[in-house]
Structure 1
């Protein structure tokens, strides 16, 4: 089937119109390209296809840097120049928000940095292939294991750590055979590293010896821990674990901008080491007053900076162990609660801060939080989102309750992939 690619949509595929009013989704294509495609699946008016041949390539098409691109499920855009990637993401954000009913949008400002070697964390599957331990990801659209040799979006030390891990298979077979997944997390300067092994049945002994052997080859290794998998999804992604053995430091110091944070092994932290300081600046710069709330606060990435600019900062996080550590001694207070719990009480007490910062997970904040925010009526809200669809839904609710959308920033925290980070600034 011959097709003309019209645009790229969220998820990374190009789309084209086919006879009969059907929409065809073709991965690894770019706007304006003339292609031949093979239909693989059909759902009503939607067809999935694979790229068979490019008859007329886009001038934005480049050779991918990674040898696994197209097979690995991690990246979707390595065939596009970085300038083109940013334009695609900007257009997707604009269209997604307009589809949510937001027709009067401010100009979208784009922020980008190093598009390669930016990731400070990777989580790899581990499996024996032809009797040899290998690490890798899942094949695109599959639960099949794909061994990898390289991952050019990751900090080099993370791949070096994976190589050392595999090299110890013969000396520590009980541990390397038990591992189903291994996660490495590095400081931004690659001077310190944490390792987490995810296993179903941990060996009885030998973990300290295994870690010491790794540290001999990888001096940056500061600590390691075991997480015992209790339940998994179909794709072997662990969803519930219990802490097991531990060795060395329980986390690492992570410096970005002028702040240094304690990040425990396994705690959530933004993955882009190149653009993190810019994200913090966008959220916090030029804002001051008496009271600020940092909701879904994580380790206190924004609260630490806001505490220098506001008389009082309240940072809310359900799993807030690192948050309390990072706010100790400042005028910021850590609250161990969900955002909904905190806002319900705040609405009852008629509390009103000068600023609310929100950085929720992919699901967004939802209708109840938006309703509570409409009752609290903070004069300014900064919303950090990693999903344009849920962002559009939430912004629509907040605008309907009296807020106006003043600024939109596309922060490309995930180059080479379809994922994107947005900072939306609202006022009353």
Structure 2
């Protein structure tokens, strides 16, 4: 009888090891090896020689943190944020911005090769920002108690402990000010923040949205309860101090959940929308609208999608996962007709309103699953020249990919917020008869490990 021997893991938790960092993961962790065993190390860069402490050991890999640096990378910079090491919001602030852009390019290339088995993809250099800070138009901050005081900030890495924040370098300055004012008002007006472990308290999150072009502000208070103590005085203080607030909404979420929003939203003050502009198009934004958080780079990303669609003004375009119609209206400026489909009814209502707001008469929207709506359109004689998809992080459903292949448009433009699922889906489309011409990474989220891409495929 052969005796099975258990493979010995060469590292132990809480032990220290001298290592050299070989590469970076897609989420910005350094990769070191101890006797061939991979360890993912926070706050470590390629080429650095360090002493690390192992913090977690799994069967096939471990995590560690850098304790001492013997050799440091020329790409290392000092993070400007005082709570960077504790906060989980940014992952690569210790890497130079040029280094971040290269890391994100390499991530896309590696995903295409490893997951999509696409060896020769034309992946262009990442398009970055001239000023990679203060770029987010949306701030959502959890509130809680710590040492008897109200705190507002972001969750510590891999925990639900809130790190109190005075300033966040990727949020707008006005958003920081409003969050701090809300923290003070909660203390003064006795509005209890939410206690997650006991499911008690009132205020769970404060969400601030800012129109970059219009400077209009919407504040949404996510509460456990319908009642907000001293709500009239709260609204009066906020609007008096920040006159650019055009809307204050309340969303009620009584559930024990990590999901931020509940089902019920009502307007406490002002209008149900604020407005912003991109590419000369005006958009109405409601408390729960999906609207890209970096409008500067969104214009870059969506303009690239329009370029790859190669529109002459005579094309029929399908826009799957159209949301509130952002890409749809970018496309409608150059196409004969654009059909948008989205599964969320409220988003489609917003999309129709945005089309009316801008006087577009060459758009049509439908609620439902793309893989069901698109075949119905085709059966009715509407045949697409171009299909554009901008799916959530999980990528496209396989049934939608099959639907796209059956529709056989001349071009497919795939906008992606996750290059791993992009690589998986591109493999299906390539095997289905399309040629991948180009992939353009765009840095929508500087200081973080996230990367957006737009890919162009043509029928082979």
Same fold judged by TM-score > 0.5?
yes
Q: Which residue in 2 is equivalent to 1:263?
A: 285
Q: Is the contact made by 1:347 and 1:372 (CA closer than 8 Å) also made in structure 2? A: no
Q: How does 1:371-386 map to 2 (within 5 A)?
A: 371-386=402-417
User: Where in structure 1 do 4 or more consecutive aligned residues deviate above 6 Å?
Assistant: none
**Which deviations, in whole Å up to 9, do the C-alpha atoms of 1:391-421 show, x marking residues without a partner?**
1110111111001111111100000001110
Q: Does 1:198 align with 2:231?
A: no
Q: Does 1:406 align with 2:434?
A: no
**Alpha-carbon distance between aligned partners in 1 of 2:315 and 2:450, rounded to the nearest angstrom:** 35
Q: Which residue in 2 is equivalent to 1:296?
A: 321
Pick from 316, 337, 361 the counterpart of residue 312 of structure 1.
337
The secondary structure found in structure 2 opposite 1:274 is helix
Q: Does 1:3 align with 2:27?
A: no
**Alpha-carbon distance between aligned partners in 2 of 1:45 and 1:175, rounded to the nearest angstrom:** 44
**Which deviations, in whole Å up to 9, do the C-alpha atoms of 1:278-332 show, x marking residues without a partner?**
1121111352333111111111111112222111111112221210101124211
**Alpha-carbon distance between aligned partners in 2 of 1:16 and 1:200, rounded to the nearest angstrom:** 44
Q: Does 1:70 align with 2:85?
A: yes
Q: Name the one with the larger strand percent.
A: 1
Q: Which residue in 2 is equivalent to 1:283?
A: 305
**Alpha-carbon distance between aligned partners in 2 of 1:205 and 1:36, rounded to the nearest angstrom:** 52
Q: Is the contact made by 1:296 and 1:316 (CA closer than 8 Å) also made in structure 2? A: yes
Q: Which residue in 2 is equivalent to 1:92?
A: 107
Pick from 220, 234, 242 the counterpart of residue 218 of structure 1.
242
* CA displacement at 1:54 relative to structure 2: 1.2
Q: Does 1:47 align with 2:62?
A: yes
Q: Is the contact made by 1:232 and 1:240 (CA closer than 8 Å) also made in structure 2? A: no
**Alpha-carbon distance between aligned partners in 1 of 2:267 and 2:350, rounded to the nearest angstrom:** 20
Q: Does 1:359 align with 2:387?
A: no
* CA displacement at 1:350 relative to structure 2: 6.4
* CA displacement at 1:361 relative to structure 2: 0.6
Q: Is the contact made by 1:356 and 1:382 (CA closer than 8 Å) also made in structure 2? A: yes
Q: Is the contact made by 1:353 and 1:378 (CA closer than 8 Å) also made in structure 2? A: yes
Q: Which residue in 1 is equivalent to 2:350?
A: 322
Q: Is the contact made by 1:408 and 1:423 (CA closer than 8 Å) also made in structure 2? A: yes
Q: Which TM-score applies when normalising by structure 2? A: 0.88
Count of matched residue pairs: 425
Pick from 150, 160, 173 the counterpart of residue 156 of structure 1.
173
Q: How does 1:127-206 map to 2 (within 5 A)?
A: 127-174=144-191, 178-189=202-213, 191-203=215-227, 206=230
In structure 1, the gaps of 5 or more residues are none
Q: Does 1:116 align with 2:133?
A: yes
**Alpha-carbon distance between aligned partners in 2 of 1:29 and 1:416, rounded to the nearest angstrom:** 15
Q: Is the contact made by 1:16 and 1:23 (CA closer than 8 Å) also made in structure 2? A: yes
Residue 49 to residue 389, structure 1, CA distance change in 2 (3 Å): same
Q: Is the contact made by 1:387 and 1:420 (CA closer than 8 Å) also made in structure 2? A: yes
Q: Is the contact made by 2:247 and 2:267 (CA closer than 8 Å) also made in structure 1? A: no
Q: Is the contact made by 1:174 and 1:203 (CA closer than 8 Å) also made in structure 2? A: no
Q: Is the contact made by 2:137 and 2:211 (CA closer than 8 Å) also made in structure 1? A: yes
Q: Which TM-score applies when normalising by structure 1? A: 0.95
**Which deviations, in whole Å up to 9, do the C-alpha atoms of 1:46-69 show, x marking residues without a partner?**
011111111100000000010010
The secondary structure found in structure 1 opposite 2:145 is strand
Q: Which residue in 2 is equivalent to 1:81?
A: 96
Moved more, 68-77 or 306-315: 306-315
Residue 347 to residue 41, structure 1, CA distance change in 2 (3 Å): farther
